[in-house]
Amino acid sequence: MPSAAEQLAANFNFSAFSKATELKQRILFTAVALIVARLGTYIPMPGIDASELARQIQQQQGSLLDVFNLLAGGAIGRMAIFALGIMPYISSSIIIQLMTTVFPELEALKKEGEAGRKVINQYTRYFTVALAMIQSYGIALGLEHMGGQNHIVIQPGFFFRIGAVITLTCGTMLLMWIGEQITSRGVGNGISLIIFAGIVARFPQVIGQTLEQARTGATNPLLIIVFAGLTVVLVGFIVFMERAQRRLFVTYPKRQVGNKVYGGDSSHLPLKLNVSGVIPPIFASSIILFPATLASWFTTGDATRWIRDLAAGLSPGQPLYILLYAGMIIFFCFFYTALVFSSREQADNLKKGGAFVPGIRPGEQTARHLDKILMRLTMAGAIYITLVCLVPEFLHLRWNVPFYFGGTSLLIVVVVTMDFMAQVQAYLMTHQYESLLKKANFKGLGPSLTR
């Protein structure tokens, strides 16, 4: 029998949106915050030759700059104040989560609830500042060496590096603050929405480039139609896999209090197929392409051959890149799942609540059973993410069509959209519940009893 929430969702009516004042305010706040985040990608960093930078970026298609430029919404291509994007904050969050499993002090803070979570978030912000300063200094050095005789930096030197560090670090911190404000006052996860907005903002430009290739005959129009249909199929496949879950049957034992019998209910423990989300492909792309980009920055005429071979081998589309990319995605799927889901903690919570899995003893055996199930789910999820990320690579190599909505960008767009719509529906369902309570006069029981 469907639950009350499922029945309400089945009779869901978007006409309630016009009456949900709080939801409209949250959506408006989210839209304004995203507009501010996008404006920052058009404010250039001082001391940069924009025309020479654009020429160098065009020559380094497929490098780490190109990947980061996608995730930063084109800010790196313009070397804007938001060029670092939100990646230092994401990296800091992953590192701090890893440290909670290594240091007992952080693990104790994690178990303290809301107060401990605030302290961990503060540590994450501090570490974000440190990472942003290191990365911005590296970018400043790279810009000074990039371009050979045609300098991108107008006046290289100490003052440019200090200015770049201050500008890019402050830009990252402002983006982090905007993301946190969206999460608390808006709708959806602010960090994910900022990345989502940057990817979607480039969509019209890519459509124009694709249509121009079809007009000039560089690309067969039939192939573009086929790839558009394949994109729709991939979107449906991603939605299906992201909603897939294993429902573990859980039973609550009966207990007798006086002449009444309580408990005996059963429910399901949902285990998602893809727990790690879009984190694995983002980190895999960054780590694998980092050596190739460094080699392209610092390789000159007298550089050794092995550096050039390394840069060529780790370029997108090369066999070494594809193998390492697939391996790193699978590794980060297991790594991040182990960070965010603790089988032992989940088994202890079931034991404290008196619940058990039929045929499995509570405690240690339940934890091992959960580990076994989660291992299989994570492997299936890792294979699914790897296929989604590598299919565009093979299609681009075979037909040289800009399969833009594929791989990491497609995952981010679909997953963030699903999360956003789920939160909108949750707010609307809450509003409908409140309306039903008002109609039933539950809120007026107090005054009615006094009459």
pLDDT in tens, 245-287: 888 888 877 665 566 655 567 778 888 888 888 888 877 776 7
Among 129-133, 194-198, 272-276, 281-285, where is mean pLDDT lowest? 281-285
User: Taking residues 391-397, what's their average pLDDT?
Assistant: 72
The residue whose two tokens read 């790594």 is 335
If pLDDT is split at 50, 70 and 90, which confidence band does 162 have?
very high
- Choose the most confident range, by mean pLDDT, from 188-192, 287-291, 427-431: 188-192
Q: What is the CA radius of gyration of the chain?
A: 26
Asked whether residue 8 carries a pLDDT value surpassing 60, the answer given is no
Q: Average pLDDT of the chain?
A: 77
pLDDT tens digits, residue range 304-327? 566 666 666 666 667 777 888 888
Query: 153 with 58: CB under 8 angstroms?
Result: no
Lowest mean pLDDT among 80-89, 279-288, 344-353, 427-436: 427-436
Q: Between the CA of residue 307 and those of 39, 139, 299, 304, 313, what are the distances in Å?
A: 38, 20, 7, 6, 10
Among 311-325, 343-357, 395-409, the range of highest mean pLDDT: 343-357
The pTM (predicted TM-score) of the whole model is 0.79
Look at residue 300 in the predicted model and tell me its pLDDT.
52
pLDDT level of residue 33 (50, 70, 90 thresholds)? very high
Average pLDDT over residues 141-166: 79
pLDDT reading at 11 higher than 90: no
> In sequence order, which residues have a C-beta less than 8 Å from that of residue 265 and are 6 or more positions away?
251, 252
pLDDT of residue 169: 93
CB of 280 closer than 8 Å to CB of 336: yes
Over residues 103-110, mean pLDDT? 81
Say what percent of the chain tops pLDDT 90: 8
**pLDDT average, residue stretch 15-28:** 78
Residue 102 DSSP label: T
- The arithmetic mean of pLDDT across residues 101-117, rounded, is 79
* Stretch 218-232: mean pLDDT: 79
79 Rama sector, left if φ>0, alpha if ψ -120 to 50, beta otherwise: left
